[in-house]
């Protein structure tokens, strides 16, 4: 290659470098600029002039707009190498119609030799502005959602109060019916007439006396049927109220964002307390319950109230399961075992209830799915959410229908 051709090639390369859409500056260690391309002039000269600099020393400008970059360059002691690679730098504009705005440059700085540096910078202001707009949109959306959640929280509170009031009213009606039961009075009257049947028959005639007895029997039977219907209706209403309250509790947790207030929880005491709350239920329903707890304290970090809700729910599920066994003569059994392992704590609840098949097991943690005729399909979903929020897992297994089930909750420490 001739010298002329070589020089022509160099000139073409310099021309390409000069025109590339990225800023390129060569300077010495003191910051004196030896060369800069067109994009550098376009991007940096307005910054130089707005700060009162002549535009021949990059260090002067960096000291004002990007002191961190200048510090990294000054502290670089190796004879050559990369100093900064694509570091983003936001720079406020000081004058002109863009005053108050920012530009964003992506800096790369390399040391060529003992006294030569190259500064390469790319204008990513458009991308930076889009990021800011996206963040603002996300923040605005979060604020909007928060306002909606606050409104929803207020509505849930009001609905909850109304449901509680309705529940109290239904309970009062139930008590009133039980206390003001006229059937016992009619039974007493019937007994009196039957006891004095002969005397009454002699006074008004045997047929009339028998007719009165038959009439009383009919009235009593009708009253008993009506009372049974009312009791059934009240029980159904109480179940509906209970389901509404369960749904409201779950929705309140959703509105709160499932935030878990973490504190030290003695899992041994918590499980014991949950069992104590249901001890009367076990006794009344003839359930044999066994509890196995390790010696000493078993601590985890979490929300005691939510964990209590989980274990009460799981124990109640076992109660429902053993109460629906095909053979009513089989001893109903529930067993809870709390154990510790390396880096984890496990709670197992076993029952010999109705169990479930593999297809049912695959859907148990699906929102809206339930095996109960009066269920909402939200209990296990809520339990799973709470357990996972405590760095845990929950599984339900069964050998098949009629073969009981095991619920295993594991907390990883």
CB 149 within 8 A of CB 258: no
Domain end (from 229, 255, 281): 255
Q: Kindly compute the dihedral angle of the four CA atoms of residues 28, 32, 37, 39, in this order, to the nearest 10 degrees.
A: 110
Give the Cβ contact number of residue 139 at 10 Å. 10
Q: 229 and 277: one domain?
A: no
Residues 301 and 407 reside in one and the same domain: yes
- What's residue 407's pLDDT? 94
Asked which of 195, 220, 255 is the last residue of a domain, the reply is 255
- Do 173 and 268 fall within a single domain? no
Rounded to 10 degrees, what is the CA torsion of 260, 266, 271, 274?
Answer: -70
Asked if the structure places residue 130 within a domain, the reply is: no
Asked which of 59, 94, 123 is the last residue of a domain, the reply is 123
pTM of the complete model beyond 0.85? no
Q: Is residue 379 part of a domain?
A: yes
Tell me the mean pLDDT in the region 320-346.
Answer: 86
pLDDT at 240 over 80: no
CA distance 146 to 259: 14
99 plus 146 within the same structural domain: no
Of 49-63, 100-114, 251-265, 304-318, least confident by mean pLDDT is 251-265
Same domain, 109 and 40: yes
Residues 177-186 as b or e (16 or more Cβ within 10 Å = b): eeeeeeeeeb
111-117 average pLDDT score: 91
Q: Which residues contact 85 (CB under 8 A, 6 or more apart)?
A: 108
CATH of the domain at 22: 3.30.450.20
Q: What is the pLDDT of residue 33?
A: 92
Range 374-389 average pLDDT? 73
Query: Is residue 78 predicted with pLDDT exceeding 50?
Result: yes
39 Cβ contact partners less than 8 Å away, ≥ 6 residues apart: 20, 21, 22, 23, 24, 123
Q: Each residue of 15-60: pLDDT tens digit?
A: 666 677 788 889 999 999 998 888 888 888 888 888 889 889 999 9
Share of the chain above pLDDT 70, in %: 73
Rounded Cα distance, 357 and 398, in Å:
7
Q: Rounded mean pLDDT of the chain?
A: 79
Euclidean distance between CA atoms 153 and 405, whole angstroms: 37
My answer on whether 169 and 286 are in the same domain is no
Domain residues for the domain of 69 are 3-123
Together in a domain, 303 and 389: yes
Q: Is residue 228 part of a domain?
A: yes
| 411 band by pLDDT with thresholds 50, 70 and 90 | very high
180 & 272 share domain: no
**Domain check: are 280 and 304 in the same one?**
yes
Which is more confident, 149 or 343?
343
Give me the pLDDT at residue 376, please.
Answer: 42
Burial of 105-130, coded b for 16+ CB within 10 Å and e otherwise, reads bbbbbbbeeeeebebbbbbbbeebee
Same domain for 274 and 407?
yes
Same-domain check for residues 287 and 401: yes
Task: Count the domains in the chain.
Answer: 3
Q: Provide the pLDDT for residue 334.
A: 94
Instruction: Please report the pLDDT score of residue 370 as a whole number.
Output: 66
Q: What is the pLDDT of residues 155-193, one digit of tens each?
A: 666 666 666 666 666 777 777 666 556 666 667 777 777
- Nearest 5 degrees, angle CA 242-CA 246-CA 249? 135
What does the pLDDT look like over 202-238, one tens digit per residue? 777 777 777 777 777 777 777 777 777 777 777 767 7
CA atoms within 13 A on the CB side of 180: 6
> Is position 131 within any domain?
no
Residues 111 and 152 reside in one and the same domain: no
- Per-residue confidence (pLDDT) for residue 219, from 0 to 100: 74
Q: Could you read off the pLDDT of 79-88 as tens digits, one per residue?
A: 999 999 988 8
């Amino acid at each position: 290659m001739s010298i002329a051709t070589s020089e022509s090639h160099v000139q073409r390369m310099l021309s390409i470098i000069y025109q590339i859409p990225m800023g390129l500056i060569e300077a010495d260690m003191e910051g004196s600029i030896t060369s800069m391309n067109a994009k550098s002039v376009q991007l940096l000269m307005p910054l130089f002039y707005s700060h009162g600099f002549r535009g021949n020393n990059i260090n002067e400008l960096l000291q004002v707009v990007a002191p961190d970059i200048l510090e990294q360059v000054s502290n670089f002691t190796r004879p050559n190498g990369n100093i900064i690679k694509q570091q983003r730098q936001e720079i406020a504009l000081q004058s002109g119609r863009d005053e108050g705005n920012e530009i964003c440059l992506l800096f790369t700085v390399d040391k060529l030799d003992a006294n030569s540096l190259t500064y390469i910078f790319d204008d990513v202001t458009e991308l930076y502005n889009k990021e800011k707009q996206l963040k603002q949109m996300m923040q605005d959306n979060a604020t909007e959602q928060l306002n909606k959640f606050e409104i929803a929280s207020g509505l849930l509170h009001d609905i909850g109060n109304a449901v509680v009031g309705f529940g109290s009213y239904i309970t009062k009606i139930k008590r009133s019916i039980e206390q003001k039961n006229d059937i016992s009075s009619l039974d007493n009257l019937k007994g009196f007439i039957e006891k004095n049947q002969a005397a009454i028959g002699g006074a008004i005639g045997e047929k009339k006396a028998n007719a009165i007895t038959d009439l009383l029997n009919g009235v009593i039977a009708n009253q008993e049927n009506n009372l049974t219907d009312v009791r059934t209706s009240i029980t159904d209403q109480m179940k509906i109220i209970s389901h509404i309250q369960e749904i409201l509790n779950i929705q309140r947790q959703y509105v709160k964002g499932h935030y878990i207030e973490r504190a030290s929880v003695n899992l041994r005491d918590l499980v014991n307390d949950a069992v104590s709350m249901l001890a009367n239920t076990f006794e009344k329903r003839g359930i044999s319950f066994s509890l196995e707890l390790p010696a000493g304290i078993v601590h985890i970090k979490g929300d005691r109230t939510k964990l209590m809700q989980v274990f009460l729910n799981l124990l109640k599920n076992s109660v429902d399961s053993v109460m629906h066994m095909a053979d009513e003569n089989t001893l109903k059994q529930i067993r809870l075992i709390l154990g510790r392992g390396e880096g984890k704590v496990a709670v197992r609840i076993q029952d010999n209830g109705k169990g479930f098949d593999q297809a049912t097991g695959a859907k148990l943690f699906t929102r809206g799915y339930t095996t109960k005729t009066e269920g909402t399909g939200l209990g296990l979903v809520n339990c799973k959410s709470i357990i996972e929020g405590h760095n845990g897992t929950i599984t339900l297994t069964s050998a098949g229908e009629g073969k009981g089930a095991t619920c295993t909750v594991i907390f990883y420490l």
